[in-house]
């Protein structure tokens, strides 16, 4: 979860490039191994770093939840990659909006224990973190 | 490990953010006070370090307490330029309690504090007791502090 170089600098494509924020939710298509998730983390960081995209990606249980911020074109290009990634299904764009300034200063990845793990401790969550966060951001 | 609190998976959430520059001192006071009350009450541990309008926080505790708080923070429009530095499971807490640091700095309420690259807080900036820090902040906000 290192700082994304360039994230604090003017957006790629020029300081006047319009910024957008995409909020999305998807479900994994299969059980992912730790190596699969490692790969997703590594690639998302490298690709978003190169594209000047900030935000976060959260993997929790069967869900992926992402927030991408950056110039429209690279964000849309990255979104196309996610949409066509066969590890995702049922992808929903929860929000697409133009923004004046980035909310996130870096790109980060979080791997959270799923609700099944939580329930095993006898403390069910009122709703998954991802869905809760999507309500607040979207 | 805090007995009685750590039966659930432990999560740590750390971030740096810049507070809304239009946030008034009294609002900052309320924000800190609310955070302190909530976090102590929820069995959360960690640190809140304030420098001017920059806030660095590490929040650690059970999954059921950290995740709702993290979602509120990430969705809170008073925070700008959030840099998430850690978000995930931990084996053990790194802090024994919840503390607020940096509130004793003269002028910290209304002026820009030291830059983020300035290194560790100087000793005079450190407040070792969150409750006392909140009281001092409230007095300062009310214009009663030296």
- What tens digit of pLDDT does each residue of B43-92 get? 999 999 988 889 999 999 998 899 889 989 998 888 889 999 999 999 99
Q: Read off the pLDDT band of A63 (50, 70, 90).
A: confident
Q: Read off the pLDDT band of A126 (50, 70, 90).
A: low
Interface test with A, best of B5, B8, B71, B79 (most A CBs within 10 A): B71
Looking at residue B73, its pLDDT comes to 93
B9 close contact with A: CB closer than 8 A:
yes
Task: State the Rg of chain B over Cα.
Answer: 15
Nearest to B98 by CA among B58, B137, B65: B58
Looking at residue A123, its pLDDT comes to 59
Ranges B4-18, B63-77, B131-145: which has the least confidence:
B131-145
Mean residue pLDDT across chain B: 74
3-state SS class at A121: coil
Looking at residue A11, its pLDDT comes to 43
Looking at residue B7, its pLDDT comes to 61
Looking at residue A110, its pLDDT comes to 92
Q: Answer whether A134's CB lies under 8 Å from A93's CB.
A: no
Nearest to A37 by CA among A91, A93, A104, A112: A112
Looking at residue B129, its pLDDT comes to 43
A102 close contact with B: CB closer than 8 A:
yes
Looking at residue B138, its pLDDT comes to 52
Interface test with A, best of B13, B82, B90 (most A CBs within 10 A): B82
Average pLDDT, integer, range A55-71 = 90
3-state SS class at B133: helix
Q: Read off the pLDDT band of B136 (50, 70, 90).
A: low
Ranges A115-124, B113-122, B129-138: which has the least confidence:
B113-122
Ranges A95-104, A113-122, B10-19, B66-75: which has the least confidence:
A113-122
Average pLDDT, integer, range A37-51 = 89
Both tokens of A112, joined, read: 């959270």
Ranges B10-19, B114-123, B130-139: which has the least confidence:
B114-123
pLDDT tens digits, A8-24 = 444 444 456 799 999 99
Q: Answer whether B18's CB lies under 8 Å from B78's CB.
A: no
Spell out where chain B has E strands: 10-19, 45-51, 54-62, 79-90, 98-101
Q: What is the ipTM of this complex?
A: 0.78
* Alpha carbon distance A95, A78 (integer Å): 15
Mean residue pLDDT across chain A: 81
Pairwise pLDDT comparison (A126 vs B77), residue with the higher score: B77
Looking at residue B146, its pLDDT comes to 39
Average pLDDT, integer, range A109-115 = 84
Q: Answer whether B104's CB lies under 8 Å from B127's CB.
A: yes
- Give, as one character, the DSSP assignment of residue B121: P
**Residues in A touching B64 (Cβ below 8 Å):** 118, 123, 125
Q: Answer whether A99's CB lies under 8 Å from A47's CB.
A: no
Bridge partner list, B68: none
Looking at residue A105, its pLDDT comes to 94
Place of tokens 């299904």: A89
Chain A, residues 105-124, CB within 8 A of chain B, namely 105-106, 108, 110-113, 117-118, 121, 123
pLDDT tens digits, B104-115 = 544 433 333 333
Is it the case that residue A59 has pLDDT exceeding 80? yes
């Amino acid at each position: 979860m290192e700082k994304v170089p360039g994230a604090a600098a003017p957006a790629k494509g020029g300081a006047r490039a319009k910024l957008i924020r995409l909020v999305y939710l998807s479900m994994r298509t299969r059980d992912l191994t730790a190596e699969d998730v490692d790969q997703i983390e590594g690639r998302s960081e490298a690709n978003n770093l190169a594209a000047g995209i900030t935000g976060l990606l959260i993997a929790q249980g069967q869900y992926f939840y992402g927030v991408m911020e950056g110039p429209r074109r690279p964000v849309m290009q990255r979104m196309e990659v996610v949409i066509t990634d066969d590890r995702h299904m049922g992808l929903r764009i929860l929000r697409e909006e133009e923004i004046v300034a980035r909310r996130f200063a870096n790109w980060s990845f979080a791997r959270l224990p799923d609700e099944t793990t939580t329930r095993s401790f006898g403390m069910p969550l009122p709703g998954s973190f991802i869905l809760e966060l999507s309500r607040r951001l979207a | 490990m805090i007995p009685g609190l750590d039966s659930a998976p432990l999560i740590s959430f750390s971030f740096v953010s810049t507070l809304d520059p239009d946030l008034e001192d009294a609002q900052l006071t309320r924000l800190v006070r609310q955070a302190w009350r909530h976090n102590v009450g929820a069995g959360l541990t960690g640190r809140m370090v304030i420098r001017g309008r920059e806030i660095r926080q590490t929040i650690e505790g059970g999954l059921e307490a950290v995740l709702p708080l993290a979602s509120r923070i990430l969705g809170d429009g008073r925070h700008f330029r959030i840099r998430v530095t850690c978000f995930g499971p931990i084996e053990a807490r790194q802090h024994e309690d919840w503390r607020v640091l940096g509130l004793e700095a003269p002028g910290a309420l209304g002026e820009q504090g030291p830059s983020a690259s300035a290194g560790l807080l100087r000793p005079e900036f450190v407040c070792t007791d969150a409750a006392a820090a909140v009281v001092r902040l409230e007095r300062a906000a009310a214009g009663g502090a030296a």
